[in-house]
Structure formats: structure tokens, C-alpha cells
Amino acid sequence: MKYNIATIPGDGIGPEVVHETIKVLEVVAGLTGHTFSYSMLLAGGAALDAAGHPLPEETLQTAMAADAVLLGAVGGPKWDHLEGDLRPERALLGLRKGLGLFANLRPALLFPALKQACPLHPDTAEKGIDIMVVRELTGGLYFGKQERLTDKEGKEFAYDTMMYHEDEIRRITRVAFDLAKGRKGKVTSVDKANILESSRLWRKVVLEEAKAYPEITLDHMYVDNASMQLVKQPQSFDVILTENMFGDILSDEAGMITGSIGMLPSASLREDKRGMYEPVHGSAPDIAGLNKANPLATILSAAMMLRISFKMEETASLIEQAVSQVLESGLRTGDIFTAGEQMTNTREMGLAVVNQLKQLEKKGA
């Protein structure tokens, strides 16, 4: 098969981590006989510099026509003074909405080799962490009506709207429940139903959809409690289902307890499983261009792409195994480094995964 991957390196460390990921994908191509072509596209600050807009029409159109989108990161201090629609982050929102990517999957997995990097109590880390955050990505406060106004006395006020239609809640609920089937069979729906009307509708619709999944355990939790339970007993979670803003916040927290945000992949999907794959971390301008960034989150995002959009389950698992084994060997970029381990850089880390992948394939053959 031939797959066309719309590739958006973006800003900061984006180009470096995407570069390493393409090396891994090329090994996969060699091993499987599939062909990957990469349409290199501009978005974020890079696009602002080149074309005056964070999401040029060509980028959106090519991304829409591609089999999948692979993105590094966007944004940086150079563009921080820009307002509203010209902010580099707008490119992300434009891609999400434009491509209809309503389901954001953010797995937070504590690799056994990284237990030391977990900021929680060692007893908690010892029990392991394996959570899938399912965040609604095209509704709620991010896309609701917002306005900044001035009152009669010349004082400013502003509002944002959190709105959900029951169909939006239904489709993301089904994604969460389907995922739970292949995991530990538990969904925790996170809301603020004691305060928000949109949350009360959320809860009602989740309960209705849950009827089609009698084998899945469902519980509901207020978002403030959920943020507490994540650090107290992360083992109590399997799949977390939540709306856009709550998911933004909780996924950072879930990520951090696994040691480093530099390890976390993500998938943003539409109904037909086309998707955009990107690391959860940002553009890290402080280390951009220094060969210091951790490429593993992007490599793991590519593994998600192979699994979900290209149905290459075995190859995806092989990449994940290779990453796990490279970590077992003690190799660490700065973000996951603790005393006694071997400090490495972006390119060496990428190469280590490439070599491990080739080894694993040889053993399997």
C-alpha cells in the first residue's frame, strides 16, 4: 500500500522530532513493503513567516486529502505578541475543526523503565499507570461564541460559551466505550454536573449511550475530584471521557505523572479513523535546534497512526516495544534523565529506536 502523510514539522523542536520519526517510518516501509510519501506543509509560526497566516489554505487542503497528518509542534515567543486569529496555536484549532477531528486520544502510560521519573509516591509508581484520556476536541469553550465588550463606563468585559449538542456527546462517548472494550473495561466520565448545565446534559447522554455497552463499567466524577484522584490513585482510572477544556487540563496532569510530557503521543480522529497524530508536548523553544529534544512522543504518535489509521497493529506494537527496550537500555534525553543513566540526544535516540526496531524484526522473522 501507498500512504500519503501530510507532514507538518512546525516550530521549535517540531522539525527535529519529526525528522527522527520519518526515519522510523522509513524502517517500517522497508520491513513491510508499504510506501510512505510525505507532503511537507507549513503551519504555525513557520507559516506566519512564510505566508502571513498560521494555517495557509494549501496546508488545510492537503491535510484533508492525505491519509493521515503527522505534526510536530507549533508556536514560540517570536509570535507571542500576535492576537487572536494570527496566533500560531490557531493552526491547531483550524486543523481540528477543518478536518472534523472530534476525538482526541491521549494515552498516559508509565513505561516500567521510567518509574523513577514519576513524581508520585514510589508505592504509587510501582503499581503502574495506564490511562487513556478521551477528550472531545471540536466543541465546548474552544469553539463556542466568545466576545470582548465595553460597558457604559468604558470598562471591559468578556465571555466564552461552553455549548454541547447531544450528538457531539454521543459520538465521543462511543469512542471512549469502544476503546474501553480493548482495555480494562472501565470508563470514567468527567464533568462538572453539580454546576454546569452542559455537564448535566453530558451525563444524561453518556448514561444513555452506556446502555449499549453492558460489559463496560461506567462511573461519573466531578473534574475537581478527578484532578485529585489522578495524583492520589491513578490506578483507579482506565478510560477518562471528558469535554474539551477539562480534557486539556487533565491530559497535562495525566501526562506529567508518567514522568515526562516528552513521552506522550496523541491521536485526533474523525469518525472514519482518519486522523492527525502529534506529540502532546509543545515546541519547547528553549531547546529548539540544539539536538536535545525527546523524539519518543512523536515516534509513539506515528505508532498510533499506523495502528489506528493504517490498521498496522503488529508494526505499531513493534515500535512501542522498541521504544520500551531503548528505555530499558538506560538511554535518556534530558527531560527523562535521572542520575546513573546515559544521557543522549535527539538524533541518537532516534537512531537507537531505528536499530532496535530492525533487531526486533530480525528476531520475529
Q: Which residues are catalytic?
A: 142, 192, 224, 248, 252
Q: Least separation, in Å, of the C-beta of 255 and ligand IPM?
A: 9
287 binds, among ligand IPM, Mg ion, none (CB under 5 to 8 A by kind): none
Terminal-residue alpha carbon distance, the chain: 21
Q: Binder to ligand IPM among 32, 64, 89, 337 (CB under 6 A)? A: 89
Residue placing its CB nearer to ligand IPM in the complex, 88 or 350: 88
Residue placing its CB nearer to ligand IPM in the complex, 305 or 327: 305
**Dihedral of alpha carbons 10, 12, 14, 16, sign:** positive
- 201 sits in which H/E element: helix 197-210
At a CB cut-off of 8 Å and minimum separation 6, what does 273 contact? Answer: 308, 309
Residue placing its CB nearer to Mg ion in the complex, 255 or 350: 255
Contact positions with ligand IPM (CB under 6 A) in 239-268: 248
Q: Which stretch binds Mg ion (CB under 5 A): 119-127, 165-173, 204-212, 243-251?
A: 243-251
Does the protein bind Mg ion through residue 209 (CB under 5 A)?
Answer: no
Residue 81 CA: distances (Å) to CA of 10, 76, 78, 87, 321: 18, 10, 8, 8, 42
CA nearest neighbour of 248 among 111, 71, 93 = 93
**Binding letters toward ligand IPM, positions 92-111, x by CB under 6 A:** x-------------------
**In this structure, what C-alpha cell is assigned to residue 350?**
532516534
CA distance 73 to 162: 26
Residue placing its CB nearer to Mg ion in the complex, 36 or 142: 142
CA nearest neighbour of 248 among 222, 274, 223 = 223
Three-state DSSP at 333 gives coil
Q: Binder to Mg ion among 238, 248, 278, 320 (CB under 5 A)? A: 248
Q: Least separation, in Å, of the C-beta of 212 and ligand IPM?
A: 29
Give me the residue whose beta carbon is nearest to Mg ion.
Answer: 248
How many residues contact Mg ion, by CB under 5 A?
1
Contact in structure between 287 and 159 (CB atoms under 8 Å) = no
Binding site for ligand IPM (CB under 6 A): 89, 92, 248
